[in-house]
A and B are shown apart, each in its own frame.
Chain A
C-alpha cells in the first residue's frame, strides 16, 4: 500500500479522528439522540394533541400551556444529554479500559472527554433548535430576545455539563451512571416544572426552583423567549453551578 504518499497525520487530525468515531458511536447507539431530542419533541407533539394545551390560560400570564412547555422541554433535552449522554460513554470508556489504553499512546485520555463534550454540545444545540422550531410550528412564539436566549442556553449547557462531568468523575460504571442520572433527573425536572409549571408553584417551592440548576435554566430561557433579558439571578446561579461543578469534576475525575 502507498503509505508513503499519505500525508503525515498531525495532532489536529488525531482529535478529528476521535470526534469522528465518537460521532459514529452517538449515531449507532442513539441513546443520547433519542433521550435528548426524540423524547422532548414527542412530548411536544403529544401536548399539541391536548386541546386545553392550546388555549391561553389566565394563571399562566395569558400564555398557552404549550408555549410554557417549550422551555421546559428544551431543559428536558439538555438535562438528558448532560446527566446521561455525556457521562455514560465516559464511565463505560473507563470501565472498558479505553481511557487507560489511551494513556499509553501519545494522545492523552482527556481528548476523549473533550470529544464527548464536542459531540454532546452539538447534540444539545441541535436539540434546542429542533424544539424551538417544532414549537413555532405548533403555534408557540419564537424567542423574542435571541441574544438572551442564546446566552441562557449556552450558560445552562455549561452548568449542566459540569454536573454531568462530576457524575462521570465519581460514578464507576455506565450502569450506575444510568441509575444516578435518573435519580437526579426527575426531582430536578420536577423543580423545573415538568409536572407542575413554575408559575403555579407555591412560593417556597418556587424559591427552591429558582436556585436549582434546571429551574434557573427554565426561568432564563422563558424570560428571553418572552422578550426580556434573562434575570441576573438565574444567570448567576447557572454560572455558579458551572464553576463549582467544573472544579469538582477536574478535581475528582479518575482516568482508570
Chain B
C-alpha cells in the first residue's frame, strides 16, 4: 500500500550531537495486520521529538519497539548506540518510560512507590528533589488511590525520571488532564529537556506538539507521512499563505496575479483573498501602494499543525480518541 510519502529528513541544528534515537526501516506485524511499515527517523540528543497520528496509526507500536517491549519483525533500533533487544538491561537504565496506561497499587504511598523504583537504578535521582520538582512533595505520604488524575500522571512521569534517564519516552502524558495541569506538564517537559534529557513525546494534541516539539513525525497507516518542524508542516498544510483585505479602490487583478509570490486572487464580496508563497504580504501591499490602493482590515491567515494533520491523514486528531479510554 502506498500512502502519501513526504518523508523528508531534516538535519538537526548545529547544537545537536550524536543521535539519541535511531530507527531504520522498522516493521511490525500482528498476524496479518501490518502495524508499522518502513518507519525510519532519528532523534538528536536534547531534542523534543513528537510522534503524532490518529488512533491505530502505529504510534504506540513504534514506541513499544523502540523501548524493547516488543521485538520488531524487521529494521534496526538504536538508543544511544544500544540495541533494546540485545542490550535490554543497559537500555532500561538509560531510558525512562511513561506508558499510556498504567496504574499503581492503590494502597501504596507516593514515597514508598518512588523509593522502590529508585532502588532499581544504578544512579537514581533523589526522591525529595524529584517530587519537589513535580509538585508532589505534599503528597509524599498519601496513598496512590487518593491522588487526582493529574497527580497520578505526574507520579508516572516521576517514575519515568527516577533513574535519571538520558532519554524519556512519554506516551500521551497529558491525556485526561485539565488545561491548567496540561500547561504545567508542558513546562515540566521543557524543564526536563533543559537538563539535557532527550524526549520522545507521543501525543494527539496538536497544540502540545506545536508548542513543545522541535520536530514531529506524523504517522498514519503504519507509515511516516511527514517529518518536519511543526511550523514547516503547518506551512505545507496549505498551498501557501493567504492575505485578505478590503481595497480602498477597485483595481485590475493582474496587478497582483503578475507577482511571482501570488498564485491566486479571489473576490469575496468586497474583500480580496490572495493566496501565495514567500514574502506574500509585502509584495501585495507594495504593489497596491504603487497603484495608489490602500488595503484595509488586512488579515493574515497561516495554517497550523492541526490543518496539516487533517490534510495529511484525512482524519481529525480528536475523532476516534475517546473510544479506547473509558
Contact = CB atoms under 8 A, between A and B. Distances in A.
Interface string A1-22: 1010000110001101110110
A104 B67 CA distance: 7
A104 B99 contact: yes
Contacts, number: 78
A107 interface: yes
Given A1-B126, A24-B112, A25-B108, A106 B103 contact: no
A28 B122 contact: no
B99 A21 contact: no
B70 to A, nearest CB: 10
Q: Determine which residue in B113, B118, B120, B122 has the highest number of CB atoms from chain A within 10 A of its CB, and name it.
A: B120
Contacts of B105: 21, 25, 93, 96, 98
B69 A17 contact: no
Interface string B237-273: 0000000000000000000000000000000000000
A59 interface: no
A17 B116 contact: yes
Contacts of B108: 21, 24-25
A13 B122 CA distance: 11
Contact of B69 (A9, A18, A21, A103): A103
Contact of B92 (A1, A14, A25, A105): A105
A101 B102 contact: yes
Q: How large is the interface on A (under 10, 10 to 19, 20 to 34, 35 or more residues)?
A: 20 to 34
A187 interface: no
Nearest to B160: A104
16 contacts: A1-B128, A8-B122, A21-B105, A21-B108, A21-B112, A25-B108, A96-B103, A100-B69, A101-B97, A103-B69, A104-B69, A105-B92, A105-B120, A105-B163, A106-B120, A106-B163
Interface of A: 1, 3, 8-9, 13-14, 16-18, 20-21, 24-25, 28-29, 93, 96-98, 100-101, 103-107
A122 to B, nearest CB: 19
A20 B119 CA distance: 12
Interface string B95-136: 111010111110110001101111111111110110000000
Given A1-B126, A8-B122, A104-B67, A17 B115 contact: yes
Given A97-B103, A100-B102, A104-B67, A9 B112 contact: no
A29 B120 contact: no
B89 interface: yes
Nearest 8 interchain pairs by C-beta = A97-B102, A104-B97, A3-B126, A96-B103, A9-B119, A17-B119, A17-B116, A28-B107
A100 B104 CA distance: 11
Contacts of A1: 126, 128-129
Task: Label chain A's interface by main secondary structure.
Answer: helix
B104 A96 contact: yes
Nearest to B100: A97
Nearest to A95: B103
B142 interface: no
B198 to A, nearest CB: 16
Interface in B41-63: none
Nearest to A29: B107
Given A17-B116, A21-B113, A97 B93 contact: no
Contacts of A16: 119
B95 to A, nearest CB: 8
B312 interface: no
Nearest to B126: A3
B26 interface: no
Contact of A107 (B96, B112, B113, B120): B120
Given A104-B67, A104-B69, A106-B93, A97 B116 contact: no
Given A17-B115, A98-B103, A105-B121, 14 more contacts: A9-B118, A9-B119, A9-B124, A14-B119, A18-B116, A21-B116, A24-B107, A96-B104, A101-B99, A105-B117, A105-B163, A106-B93, A106-B120, A106-B122
Q: Determine which residue in B67, B69, B93, B95 has the highest number of CB atoms from chain A within 10 A of its CB, and name it.
A: B69
B219 interface: no
A24 B115 CA distance: 14
Given A17-B116, A17-B119, A105-B163, A97 B99 contact: yes
B104 A98 contact: yes
Contacts of B125: 3
B165 to A, nearest CB: 10
Contact of A25 (B107, B115, B122): B107
B159 A101 contact: yes
Contact of A97 (B92, B101, B119, B128): B101
A248 to B, nearest CB: 25
Contacts of A25: 105, 107-108
